[in-house]
């Protein structure tokens, strides 16, 4: 059934109001989130730029063993008796980053590990910092949860949902007839400042639409996995995360070294690249060797894992993303899609530029609203002036 002209106009006015008030109420937050997200695309590189002492200017031919690095951590932080998680960089000029989760100093935060940067060639500690207390991690918390921990995650999920509504309403308002598509996708030449501002707002939204939709959807899913993951689990069962225990016996009372545990893990996936080593948290804990197989979407946080008994060196559990169901596969793609790393440098640049579009949309939208409001006020003043103007003799004699 076709809508009448009046109903079409009423529907358009409704979506115009939705788009306007979402933009005015959330535009500044979305602009902030977009800017911080753009910076975080290359946050390790920016952190090294801000802290040049983290860069290994002259790499040596021989690296320290992983066990020696671990012992260096223990000497630097002798009171940290639980496990460490070591990120092993592929770049020879990049330090090993070791995280100690739930340190006493920041245990009141949901996520604020102690982070040590270690020279892989000498074992010396280059930086000792808590998450959230240096620039790039502070920006991460601002982007992810508005510096508000769990409450901030819920708020950001709501913002993401409303951003989706704003994008949909914007597409509806923009959608042109087929014969006007070409002009709707280009700037009008020699246009007025008002028209140029409108075209910038329109085209910024249209050309970034697909990436913005992906960022909004994945952002919501990453903010509230406790709600999203069970929904995905209805479509295919989710794999429970293994938590295997090591068994100490009289025959193997001593812990094997990190290097031995890594060798066991890599023997199961010989073509995979080592990304993380997680050491046992206690006497019953196990090593977790995190590897990246070819084709995995995430470069820094892959999903190939091997759990190794810390005493016997036996493999206790394996998680292979190639064997996961559809829902787990979707979940594994969320973060690399959100950061753009799923598509390499091209994907990261798309996310970077889409983040920069957010403040452009807010500023041009605000200018457009002010222009229209000013125009309405001018029309109203002219109308009042015409009404109050005295009638001419000719008008009185009619």
Does 5 share its domain with 103? no
Task: Give the DSSP letter of residue 243.
Answer: -
pLDDT > 50? residue 2 = yes
Is the residue at 248 inside a domain? no
Predicted structure pTM score: 0.90
Does 34 share its domain with 57? no
How many independent structural domains does the chain possess?
Answer: 2
Q: What is the pLDDT of residue 391?
A: 55
Q: What is the mean pLDDT of residues 50-63?
A: 92
Q: What is the pLDDT of residue 138?
A: 97
Does 125 share its domain with 233? no
Is the residue at 264 inside a domain? no
Residue that finishes a domain, picked among 84, 106, 133: 133
Q: Which of 107, 101, 69 is nearest to 85 (CA)?
A: 101
Contact status, residue 103 vs residue 89, Cβ threshold 8 Å: no
Is the residue at 8 inside a domain? yes
pLDDT grade for 392, boundaries at 50, 70 and 90: low
Give the percent of the chain with pLDDT over 70: 96
Does 91 share its domain with 139? no
Q: What is the pLDDT of residue 396?
A: 46
Q: What average pLDDT does the chain have? A: 93
**Please, what is the Cα angle at 79 between 76 and 82, to 5 degrees?**
100
Is the residue at 180 inside a domain? yes
CA 325 vs. chain centroid, Å, equals 24
φ, ψ for residue 359, nearest 5 deg? -65, -30
Is the residue at 314 inside a domain? no
Q: What is the pLDDT of residue 394?
A: 57
Does 223 share its domain with 335? yes
Does 47 share its domain with 80? no
Is the residue at 280 inside a domain? no
- The most distant pair of C-alpha atoms in the chain lies apart, rounded to whole Å, by 120
More confident residue, 189 or 295: 295
Does 181 share its domain with 231? yes
Q: Which of 138, 112, 140, 115 is nearest to 126 (CA)?
A: 115
Residue that finishes a domain, picked among 133, 161, 195: 133
Q: What is the mean pLDDT of residues 379-390?
A: 73
Q: What is the pLDDT of residues 15-38, one digit of tens each?
A: 999 999 999 999 999 999 999 999
Q: What is the pLDDT of residues 327-384, one digit of tens each?
A: 999 999 999 999 999 999 999 999 999 999 999 999 999 999 999 888 888 777 777 7
Q: What is the pLDDT of residues 84-133, one digit of tens each?
A: 999 999 999 999 999 999 999 998 888 999 999 999 999 999 999 999 99
Give me the domain span that covers residue 28: 1-51+135-237+327-398
Mark 237-264 as b/e (b = at least 16 C-beta within 10 Å): ebeeeeebebebeeebeebbbbebbbeb
Is the residue at 67 inside a domain? yes
Residue that finishes a domain, picked among 133, 149, 183: 133
Q: What is the pLDDT of residues 231-249, one digit of tens each?
A: 999 999 999 889 899 987 7
């Amino acid at each position: 059934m076709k809508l009448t002209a009046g109903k079409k106009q009423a529907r358009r006015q409704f979506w115009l109001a939705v788009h306007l008030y979402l933009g005015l109420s959330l535009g500044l937050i979305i602009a902030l989130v977009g800017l911080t997200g753009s910076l975080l695309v290359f946050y390790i590189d920016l952190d090294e730029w801000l802290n040049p002492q983290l860069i290994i200017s002259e790499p040596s031919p021989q690296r320290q063993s992983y066990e020696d690095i671990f012992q260096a951590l223990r000497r630097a932080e002798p009171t940290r008796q639980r496990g460490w998680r070591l990120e092993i960089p592929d770049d020879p000029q990049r330090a090993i980053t070791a995280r100690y989760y739930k340190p006493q100093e920041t245990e009141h935060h949901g996520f604020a590990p102690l982070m040590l940067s270690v020279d892989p060639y000498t074992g010396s500690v280059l930086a000792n910092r808590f998450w959230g207390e240096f620039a790039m991690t502070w920006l991460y918390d601002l982007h992810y949860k508005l510096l508000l921990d769990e409450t901030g995650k819920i708020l950001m999920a709501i913002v993401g949902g409303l951003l989706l509504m704003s994008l949909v309403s914007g597409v509806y308002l923009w959608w042109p007839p087929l014969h006007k598509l070409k002009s709707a996708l280009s700037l009008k030449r020699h246009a007025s400042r008002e028209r140029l501002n409108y075209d910038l707002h329109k085209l910024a939204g249209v050309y970034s639409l697909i990436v913005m939709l992906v960022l909004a959807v994945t952002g919501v899913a990453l903010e509230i996995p406790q709600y999203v993951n069970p929904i995905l689990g209805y479509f295919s069962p989710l794999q429970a995360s293994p938590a295997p225990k090591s068994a100490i016996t009289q025959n193997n009372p001593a812990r094997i070294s990190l290097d031995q545990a890594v060798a066991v893990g890599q023997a199961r996936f010989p073509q995979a690249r080592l990304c993380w080593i997680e050491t046992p948290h206690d006497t019953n804990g196990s090593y977790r060797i995190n590897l990246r197989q070819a084709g995995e979407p995430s470069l820094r946080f892959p999903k190939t894992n091997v759990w190794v008994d810390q005493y016997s060196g036996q493999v206790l559990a394996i998680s292979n993303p190639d064997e996961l169901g559809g829902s787990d596969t979707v979940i594994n793609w969320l973060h690399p899609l959100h950061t753009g790393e799923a598509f390499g440098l091209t994907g990261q640049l798309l996310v970077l530029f889409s983040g920069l579009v957010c403040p452009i949309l807010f500023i041009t939208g605000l200018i457009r609203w002010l222009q229209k409001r000013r125009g309405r006020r001018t029309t109203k003043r002219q109308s009042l002036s015409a009404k109050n103007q005295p009638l001419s003799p000719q008008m009185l004699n009619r």
